[in-house]
Amino acid sequence: MIIFGHRGAPGYPRRGENTMASFQKALYCGATGLEFDVRRCGDGRLVVIHDDTIDRTTNGRGRVENLSYKELQRFDAGNGEPVPLLTNVLDQFGGQCLLNLELKDAGIASVVKNLILERRLERQVIVSSFEWQELPQLTPEIPIGLLSSKLQDLFPAAREFGASAIHPRRDLVSGSLIATAREAGLRIHAWTVNDPDEIRRFRNLEIDGIFTDFPERCSTPAS
């Protein structure tokens, strides 16, 4: 079971999310993959941040799309670190573990694809989105995963778009769903799994992977 550190390891004690330190902490805590979010900032560069504003995750305010990276660097995203560039995250962690990049903006897939291929990381990544139509241009070179909070149309869309994986919300996942995914040749990764009993349940179901804020809970004997 792949353990994706969800935005790194942002669980208590809080160390920030989607920061270089959070990613490093996730690996230290036993994560075998990292999940993070990608947006375009005001100067066109791709940055790693979940929200469309910096209000919640930094000590600043404003919309990501309205701030240049030079401006973003002025704000603390956790432990004194700025919001990282996608290129920095790829360069630092691309050779260490599996990376799941979630596209948060429309129209950035081609740039993401080029950055991945330039670094020859296509076997080290999977790119996901709730907006499935953003993903097909990445294939067949780069694996894609369909994020979803419902099962309707998930398997037909996975076939249509050439997905390698489906990423359903954790409460949608059952043994039968995993079996159906296996029959379709799809990996299945559930989000976001933080409860130790639920972690153990997914391990027993032999799911392919989970996203968690607490990677250390996945490496204990009880899990």
Give the tokens for residue 80: 């004194």
Cβ burial of 115 (10 Å; 0-12, 13-18, 19+) is buried
Say whether 50 is catalytic.
Answer: yes
Q: Are 203 and 176 in contact (CB under 8 A)?
A: no
**Please, what is the Cα angle at 78 between 77 and 84, to 5 degrees?**
50
Helix, strand, coil tally for the chain in percent (to 5): 35, 20, 45
Q: One of 2, 3, 4, 6 is an active-site residue; which one?
A: 6
- The Cα 140–Cα 137 span in angstroms is 8
Q: One of 25, 50, 167, 170 is an active-site residue; which one?
A: 50
Q: Around Cβ 84, how many Cβ atoms within 10 Å?
A: 23
C-alpha torsion sign, points 192, 198, 200, 203: negative
- The Cα 35–Cα 101 span in angstroms is 6
How many Cα atoms sit within 13 Å of 204 on the Cβ side?
A: 9
Say whether 6 is catalytic.
Answer: yes
Residues with a catalytic annotation lie at 6, 50
